[in-house]
Structures are given as C-alpha cells and as structure tokens.
Amino acid sequence: MSPIRRPALAAALAGGLALAALAGCGGGSGFDSTASSSGAIKVLIGSSGDAETAAVKKAVAAWSKQTGKKASVSVANDLAQQLSQGFASGKPPDLFYVSTDQLAGYAGNGSLYAYGDKLSDTGDFYPNLVQAFTVDKKLYCAPKDFSTLQLVINTEMWQKAGLTDADVPTTWDQLDAVAKKLAASSGAKAGLTFSPEYARIGSFMAQAGGGMTNADQTEATVDSSANVTALDYVKKLLTDGAAAYSSTLGAGWGGEAFGKGLAAMTIEGNWLIGAMASDYPDVKYRVVALPAGPKGPGTLAFTNCWGIAAKSGHKSDTVKLVDYLTTAQQQIRFADEFGVIPSVKSAAEQWQQQQPGYAPFIAGADYAQNTPSTQGSADVVSDFNSQLETLAKSDPKTILASVQKSLAATMTQ
C-alpha cells in the first residue's frame, strides 16, 4: 500500500474520467459525433488463453483477407473496465465480447448497437441464446458460443469406491448417496465439489423447478418454494459430508479441486475439458448429465455475444464480420481450437459427432436455464454468491428472502 496518494475521488475516478475530461472541456461539439470511419475495425476480446486468442486472430485475419477490410484483435486484461473506459471516452472498440450480466447495463446506457435485424441469418441460433441477448424485444448482439453445466466424474476414484456404470446418479438421492460413498472410500477429501456461487448452485434450483426470475425475466422469483427445496438439498449435501465447496478444499474453482484429486465429482461446464487437458492431463474422467431434481433435469447456460459499439464508425462492416464469425463453419473451427460449443444448432450437432465427450453439455442446451441478465442483476447475483458461501451455517429461507428483495428492487426501477 502506498500511503501517499491523491484524494480518494481522484484515485478512484481520475483514470476513467481523464479522457472524458479532456474532450468534454475541449469545445465538445466534435466529441459526441460518431468516431471517424477510417482505420481498422478494432476487436477487443476477453480471452480464456492463448488458444482462443490465436483462433480469433486467425479468423479475423482470414475475413480481412477475404474482404480487404482491415481489422485488428486485441486482448483485454479486464474487459469490463476497458469497455467502460472506451464507452466513456467515446472511442470504444468496434467489436467486443459482451457477457449476459453486462448486457443490460450497456444496452441501457446506449453503448450498444442493436444489430440483430441486420444479421443475415438468426434462425439457426439456439432460441434460448437469442432470448438471452434480447432486451425490450430487440436482439442486441449475436450469440458467440455457449456452455452448460454437467456432472464430471473421476473414473479411477469411481472404480476405487466400487461403483459401476449403473450407479451414475440420476436423482438427488442417488447423487447424495454416491457422493457420500466416494467421500468415504475413493481417497478424495470430498465426494462432490463446486464453487460457492449461483453459477453452480443455480443448477439445483433449475432441477427443483425454480430460478431467479420467471422465464421472461420480468419478475423476481427467488423466494419460491422450489428454490428453498434446492438450497435445503445443497445445504444437506454440504453438511452430511457428501459435498464441499471448492474454496473449502483450498481450490480456486471446482475444476482445480477435481483435477488435483481433492474431490471425486464436480459440477462444471465444458471449459473444464480444455483445462483438464492442459493442467491435469493424467486425470481420467467422464461427463454425465446432472441428476434430475424433483422437477426433472435442469442446468444453467452461460453465453457471450459479439457486441458492436453504438459509436462504431464501421457498423455495417462489423456486422458482416460478425456474420462471418458466427457461420457454422467458423464456429466449428472455434470449437476445435478452444472447446466452446457453437451457438448455431447445425454446427453444434455436427461438432457433437466429432467430439462425443461434449454430448452431455450440448444436450443441456435444450433444457438449460439462462442466468439473470436484467440491469442490476449482476450485483444481486454477487450478493447472492456472498451469502451462499456461508450456506452450511445459514437458513436458506433468509438468504432467498434477502436476495428476492434486492432483485425485485432492481426490476421495479
């Protein structure tokens, strides 16, 4: 910590505002006009690693070569911050990743160009992905790819505990039973692990027939009895020795705990496959569907889209670039190169035949629930996460009631 600093407000805000300050006081009128249309299309991505960066760079370069339009790809360290800075300064990148929880904020303040109707074909996208990026009946951006959660099992530990294929859990009770058995006799510290957050535990809420909101995301339904059932069950898993949070096991996320052999099962998305291959290549595992809850199967879907800035000077060219990047052919290339599931059905089905290991994740798309994406919901979810960390010691009803209050407040605004 450096004890000598500028006043608080300057420290916190000067960085972001300096550019805006210069422009705002420099006579101004030229500032709000659209950025110049000369120069290359700027693409800003939040990359999961070298494989993704290289794949996106290659695809954009191929498009440039084909069309003769210049485009450059850069990788953000902190995408949300860099985008916010870009929007505030009036010089945002033309094309960038947008996550569902950021969408409403950017759409709400007019930073995003809603280009859904300009795309050449939106019919092949998975419908719930299209819904995830639709605000006020306008499709803001094209789904880039998606991921779902499923159950991942360490096969060696599974056998060591004397379990067979017939024991793969399909109900909550079975999951509880095998997790306990694995905890007792597989050598792992815990039978099942997942990180203490809605983005994992929400799958149990979906299986119980609950969710954060109704299907249209117009009403908060956090305190529903289905959600209470789900959290009661998760609390039971955590307290009866079946499951432990990855943080309790000393791991940063479920995949790390699973890869290190601290737990025999985990709930993670398809990004796990890439992580296992690069970090824990010796661990043998299989992916199965999450067990069904009282209201049938359920999982969560996570997705990003290709956002275009409202202040972009290359709107029509950038839409063409998105068209190119979301074709079935290109998405299969991305899938091969960094393991994401294509956002268009035809590509996902084709790719599933090539990579049967991903089948449960792809199958999840048909029944997966979207995470809340309304304005202010990101804050509520992080508050929910902070309360879930102490779930083992708390009353699920109290947690859900407080989150309900917060989420409802953001929706009536």
Partner 1 sequence: MTRGSGRRRIQLHHTRDGWLFVAPVLLILGLFLVLPVLMAAWVSVSDWHGNGSPFASGVGFVGLDNYRSILSGGGLAERDFGTSLRNNLYYVVLVVPLQTALALFLAVLVNQRALRARGFWRTAFYFPSVTSSVAITVLWLFLFSTTGAVNRLLSFVGIHGPNWFQDPDGLVHLLLGRLGVDSAPGALADHGAIGITWWDWLAGPSVAMTAFVAMAIFTTSGTFMLLFIAALRNIGEETDEAGLIDGANSWQRFRYLTLPQLRPTVFTVVTLGLIGTWQVFDQIYTGTQGGPAKTTLTPAYLSFSSAFNNQQWGQGAAIAFILFAIIVVLTLGQRWLLRERS
Q: Are 239 and 231 in contact (CB under 8 A)?
A: no
Least Cβ distance, residue 108 to partner 1 (angstroms): 7
Q: Which is nearer to partner 1, 13 or 277 (CB)?
A: 13
Closer to partner 1 by CB, 16 or 294: give it.
Answer: 16
For partner 1, the closer of residues 148 and 318 by Cβ is 318
Nearer to partner 1, 119 or 407 (CB): 407
Q: Which is nearer to partner 1, 10 or 277 (CB)?
A: 10
Name which of 11 and 62 has its Cβ closer to partner 1. Answer: 11
Minimum CB distance to partner 1, residue 163 (Å): 28
CB nearer partner 1, residue 90 or residue 291: 90
CA distance linking residue 346 with residue 348, whole number of Å: 6
CB of 42 to partner 1, least distance (A): 17
The answer to whether 76 and 45 are in contact (CB under 8 A) is yes
Residues in contact with partner 1 by the rule CB under 8 A = 1-14, 16-18, 20-25, 28, 31-32, 80-81, 84-85, 87-88, 90, 102, 105-106, 108-111, 247-250, 310-311, 376, 378-380, 383, 386-387, 389-390, 406, 409-410
> Least distance in Å: CB of 1 to partner 1?
5
CB of 116 to partner 1, least distance (A): 20
CB of residue 120 vs partner 1: minimum separation in angstroms?
28
Residue 290 C-beta: closest distance to partner 1, Å: 25
Q: How far is the CB of 167 from partner 1 (least distance, A)?
A: 30
- Show the 3-state SS of the chain: CCCCCCCHHHHHHHHHHHHHHHHHHCCCCCCCCCCCCCCCEEEEECCCCHHHHHHHHHHHHHHHHHHCCCEEEEECCCHHHHHHHHHHHCCCCCEEEEEHHHHHHHHHCCCECCCHHHCCCCCCECHHHHHHCEECCEECCEEEEEEEEEEEEEHHHHHHCCCCHHHCCCEHHHHHHHHHHHHHHCCCCEEEEECCCHHHHHHHHHHCCCCCECCCCCCECCCCHHHHHHHHHHHHHHHCCCEEECCCCCCCCHHHHHHCCCEEEEEEECHHHHHHHHHCCCCCEEEECCCEECCECCCEEEEEEEEEECCCCCHHHHHHHHHHHCCHHHHHHHHHHHCCEECEHHHHHHHHHHCHHHHHHHHHCCCCEECCCCCCHHHHHHHHHHHHCCHHHCCHHHHHHHHHHHHHHHHHC
**Closest approach of Cβ 29 to partner 1, in Å?**
10
Cβ proximity of 147 and 304 under 8 Å? no
**In the complex with partner 1, which residue's Cβ is closer, 355 or 387?**
387
Q: Are 395 and 206 in contact (CB under 8 A)?
A: no
Q: Looking at beta carbons only, is 137 or 393 nearer to partner 1?
A: 393
